[in-house]
Amino acid sequence: MIYGERVRLRAIEREDLPLFTAWLNDPEVHAYLDLIFPFSLAEEERWFENMLSSPPAEHPLVIEVSEGTAWTPVGNCALGKIDWRNRSAAVGIFIGEKRYWNKGYGGDALRLLLRHGFETLNLNRVYLRVYETNLRGIRAYEKVGFVHEGRFREAEFRGGKALNVLYMSVLRSEWEARQAQ
Ligand SMILES: CC(C)(COP(=O)(O)OP(=O)(O)OC[C@H]1O[C@@H](n2cnc3c(N)ncnc32)[C@H](O)[C@@H]1OP(=O)(O)O)[C@@H](O)C(=O)NCCC(=O)NCCS
């Protein structure tokens, strides 16, 4: 497991799947994700089986929050599209328990994932894509050091609108400079 002070990242268990399905079917959560259709538990189970045979470095991790002596699952994050030659990866994240939004847990989880990416996997660049309408996400990413890279204009159609998609990234040099501060 990957431990921070308030948050830890752990491997997904089959028992987590009903919770994931509920989160991913919440319109306020999936509005910002790359999901369009309602999502069944059977589809989630098939995703889980496929995931098990994907490279371990790309397995999504459960975000858990420390509460007293217990750890509460609140969401999910992952590094994906790992390109070992260019030492680059994409990051994806969601907090499905909405009462945990805006408390800094997303930022904490991203810091752990970046540390893992740079200090364990030896990556050089971690990037993400986010809808320009996702102001909470953009703010969370800026806070942990993601830099704006570019805007893909009207790249995706969601909720009856063509949305701009922003690309943001953190380079290893930027990560190291922040650690030194
Ligand atoms: C995006 C997400 C992972 C961020 O995690 P989080 O724990 O809520 O974020 P944090 O608390 O670390 O940071 C959120 C910041 O955005 C700010 N914020 C919230 N709503 C905002 C708004 N409408 N406009 C501007 N800033 C906003 C918060 O105040 C906070 O900044 P602050 O600490 O300076 O006050 C989480 O909210 C989430 O999963 N949302 C739904 C799914 C999603 O968007 N996934 C990402 C797809 S790219």
pLDDT tens digits, 115-158? 999 999 999 999 999 999 999 999 999 999 999 999 999 999 99
Q: Where are the domains of the chain?
A: 2-127
Counting ligand 1 atoms within 8 A of each CB, the residue from 5, 24, 26, 102 with the most, and so the one to mutate, is: 102
Residues in contact with ligand 1 (CB, 6 Å cut-off):
29, 32-33, 75, 93-95, 101-107, 130, 134-137, 139-140
CATH code for 2-127? 3.40.630.30
Closest CA to 173 of 111, 126, 108, 106: 126
Nearest CA residue ID for atom 24, ligand 1: 135
**Rounded distance, CA 60 to CA 91, Å?**
10
Please state the pTM of the whole predicted model: 0.96
Is the pLDDT at 181 greater than 90, yes or no?
A: no
